[in-house]
Amino acid sequence: MRGKFPVGTVGSVLLVLAVNSRANAPKPVVLWPEGAPGALGTNDWDVPALTPYLADPKIATGAAMVICPGGGYGHLANHEGKDCALWLNEHGVSGFVLKYRLGTHGYRHPRMLEDAARAVRLTRSRAKEWGINPKRVGIMGSSSGGHLAATLLTHFDAGKADATDPIERKSCRPDLGVLCYAVITMGEKTHAGSKKFLLGDNPSPELVRFLSNELQVTPETPPCFVWHTYEDTTVPVENSLIFAGALRKAGVPFDLHIYQRGKHGMGLADGHPWTRDCLFWLKLQGFVK
């Protein structure tokens, strides 16, 4: 019958579509081709990488977002990585999903921060190739990925002008941050699993303070969009509240949204107003049209 596949061809068609999808999938870019600092091996999880999802040139704004998926520093949640990149693509922003090293594979701070910083530097270093404005590179993170994003937002540097590696000459300061139900503190209101995988079982008080990002905000911290839900029972809403308070005290512009309903780990949460509110804010920052 017209409009239907002959018997036995549906599986073949699906296979062809799957192969084409894999062929067109973006290829990860290894952050350190010669090996990451402090690498414990050469397995896939020892090789941090950045997967570029470039916006259609017809609608691209030149803005980019490095995306840090959550997962308690123990795994990487796909729906907080690729899905967010594709959503940003719809609005002209190129998304770069970071595969950073994890506590489940023996890594501890500063390896995760090194990976995030390198990702921002790499994005800027290839700005011309990827059609990006190097002065519009943000960072986005969810849950523990939000902690990693907030860590870079408060622990960045301007790069090393005399570095032999040209990527290391670039600044790793993001131009803005988007923090989704983020872990912020390593103190009383932290997420215990994230803290353990990031810092180990017995971190020093000095290290706990250093990575409690609400205590590290300065007037140089970039503008932020911060959102959380009152009903989050995994990462207490106080994390976002104390970070916004620190931004306010330092005179850093921000948007803070606390929604009554919603569980932890929602990602894009189809129909939830956070995406609409975030796009409105990104427009004010010149990231979307």
Helix (H, G, I), strand (E, B) or coil at 272: coil
Domains of the chain: 37-284 (3.40.50.1820)
Write the secondary structure of 37-104 as one string of H (helix), E (strand) and C (coil).
CCCCCCCHHHCCEEEEECCCCCCCCCCEEEEECCCCCCCCCHHHCHHHHHHHHHCCCEEEEEECCCHH
Give the pLDDT of the chain (289 residues) as one tens digit per residue: 334 434 444 344 334 333 334 446 899 999 999 999 999 999 999 999 999 999 999 999 999 999 999 999 999 999 999 999 999 999 999 999 999 999 999 999 999 999 999 999 999 999 999 999 999 999 999 999 999 999 999 999 999 999 999 999 999 999 999 999 999 999 999 999 999 999 999 999 999 999 999 999 999 999 999 999 999 999 999 999 999 999 999 999 999 999 999 999 899 998 899 999 999 999 999 999 9
